[in-house]
């Protein structure tokens, strides 16, 4: 049997590398100068031998348990919640998501970079999670009665996800501090993209002068759908667009850049800073489909990653006003490296910075107009943030009229 040190070295080295949404080719050996010397991990072998001989609970001392503990310990020491190991079982579940559907509760979760808590970024629209009362920003305190303290995101996803028709009990704390236990019946979750619907203002009157579009993920199909909707908006002569990002946890960087480019004729969209401090600047190309129409972005705790990139790009270039609540605060580039054990390692390789230099990671984006729904609003299904966006567009268009 290979030693624990050798096993750990193999897992850390990895064998096949690629980036989500960006082909990086394959690699079967670490880059030159990064090979792991087995002697560096001799202390692990020594500790394992002592535990095997002396630990009071011998059944707890197995190579698998200690190997996983060592891996997670290394990654947690980095202090980056987005650099995580995914065991083979969890990784196989993740592949189902890429194919477009999976069985579970229908929510995106992340690990809070400051507290380490498992947090709901957003429940998907009309998902079992949303219908049961899960909200963006909820802290998941327990799953089926077991505390999530010390859990990784991969561990949480593995336990929460399950077959269609089965139940899972989540203990959650909402952003208002109220805690409750919520039973959710899992279902088959279709990955959502673009939605439109008729909207009403705070008085209940139909809104006919603006279009409402909800974008729930940044994917290639979503870019096409969004462009088609925006072309319809222009053709029909609508005077404004409300783009809802409150349930959008992100997606592919290329798709995010394309969406931003749709609203911009020029200007910086995003600055990406790598481990050496080198900056890659993404700029808009002229000729977007919706470069003149007034835009309001609805944002909140469920707006993460690509949503935050789009929000600061349009805000900093004077193309949109942000209405709602502070966003989640995930501004990192995470590449996926497949491992020889059929697991994977997500590695943070760069950070994102807004065009004005503002950091996204662990901070989030503050809205231009903060609107906080009350418990009464939530219980009565009154979308006061949408009402505020409608009022804002109407007021500004009235002021701009000759």
Active site residues: 305, 316, 330
Helix segments in 236-369, DSSP class H:
253-263, 306-316
Q: Would you give the distance in Å from CA 175 to the centre of its chain?
A: 18
Q: How many CA atoms lie within 13 A of 77 on its CB side?
A: 6
Task: Identify the burial level of 395 via C-beta atoms within 10 angstroms of its C-beta, where 0-12 means exposed, 13-18 middle and 19 or more buried.
Answer: exposed
Comparing CA positions, the residue from 12, 8, 5 lying closest to residue 345 is 12
Q: Which residues contact 318 (CB under 8 A, 6 or more apart)?
A: none
Could you give phi then psi for residue 110, rounded to 5 degrees?
Answer: -140, 170
- The alpha carbons of the chain give a radius of gyration, in whole angstroms, of 23
- Placement of tokens 């609107």 in the chain: 371
* Alpha-carbon span 135 to 137, nearest angstrom: 6
Comparing CA positions, the residue from 371, 286, 369, 354 lying closest to residue 317 is 354
DSSP, collapsed to helix, strand or coil, labels residue 369 as: strand
CB 81 within 8 A of CB 110: yes
Strands 321-324 and 295-299: parallel
Comparing CA positions, the residue from 267, 258, 268 lying closest to residue 227 is 258
DSSP, collapsed to helix, strand or coil, labels residue 296 as: strand
Q: Would you give the distance in Å from CA 24 to the centre of its chain?
A: 22
* Alpha-carbon span 241 to 297, nearest angstrom: 8
* Alpha-carbon span 181 to 183, nearest angstrom: 7
The 3-state secondary structure of 162-215, one letter per residue: CCCCCEEEEEEECCCCCEEEEEEECEEEECCCEEECCEECCCCCEECCEEEEEE
Rounded-to-5 percentages of helix, strand, coil across the chain: 30, 25, 40
């Amino acid at each position: 049997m290979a030693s624990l040190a050798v096993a750990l070295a193999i897992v850390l080295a990895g064998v096949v590398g690629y980036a989500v949404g960006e082909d990086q080719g394959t690699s079967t050996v670490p880059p030159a100068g990064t090979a792991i010397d087995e002697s560096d991990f001799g202390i692990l072998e020594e500790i394992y031998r002592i535990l095997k001989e002396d630990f009071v609970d011998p059944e707890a001392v197995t190579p698998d348990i200690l190997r996983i503990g060592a891996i997670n310990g290394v990654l947690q020491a980095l202090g980056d919640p987005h650099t995580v190991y995914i065991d083979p079982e969890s990784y196989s579940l993740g592949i189902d998501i890429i194919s477009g559907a999976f069985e579970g509760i229908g929510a995106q979760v992340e690990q809070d970079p400051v507290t380490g808590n498992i947090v709901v970024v957003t429940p998907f629209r009309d998902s079992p999670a949303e219908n049961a009362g899960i909200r963006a920003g909820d802290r998941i305190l327990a799953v089926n009665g077991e505390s999530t303290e010390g859990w990784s995101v991969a561990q949480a996803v593995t336990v929460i996800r399950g077959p269609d028709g089965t139940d899972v009990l989540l203990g959650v704390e909402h952003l208002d501090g109220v805690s409750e236990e919520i039973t959710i019946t899992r279902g088959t979750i279709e990955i959502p993209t673009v939605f439109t619907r008729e909207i009403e203002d705070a008085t209940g009157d139909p809104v006919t002068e603006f279009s409402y579009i909800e974008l729930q993920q940044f994917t290639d199909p979503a870019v096409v759908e969004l462009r088609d909707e925006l072309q319809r908006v222009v053709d029909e002569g609508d005077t404004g667009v409300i783009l809802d990002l409150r349930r959008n946890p992100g997606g592919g960087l290329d798709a995010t850049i394309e969406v931003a480019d749709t609203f911009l004729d020029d200007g910086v969209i995003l600055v990406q800073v790598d481990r050496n401090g080198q900056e890659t600047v993404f700029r808009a190309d002229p000729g977007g489909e919706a470069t003149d129409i007034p835009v309001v972005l609805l944002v909140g705790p469920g707006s993460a990653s690509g949503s935050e990139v789009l929000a600061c790009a349009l805000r900093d270039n004077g193309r949109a006003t942000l209405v709602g609540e502070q966003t989640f605060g995930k501004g990192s580039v995470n590449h996926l490296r497949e491992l020889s054990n059929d697991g994977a390692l997500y590695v943070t390789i760069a950070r994102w910075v807004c065009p004005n230099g503002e950091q996204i990671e662990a901070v989030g984006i503050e809205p231009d107009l903060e609107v906080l729904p009350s418990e009464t609003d939530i219980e009565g299904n009154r979308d006061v943030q949408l009402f505020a966006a409608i009022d804002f567009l109407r007021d500004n268009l009235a002021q701009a009229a000759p």
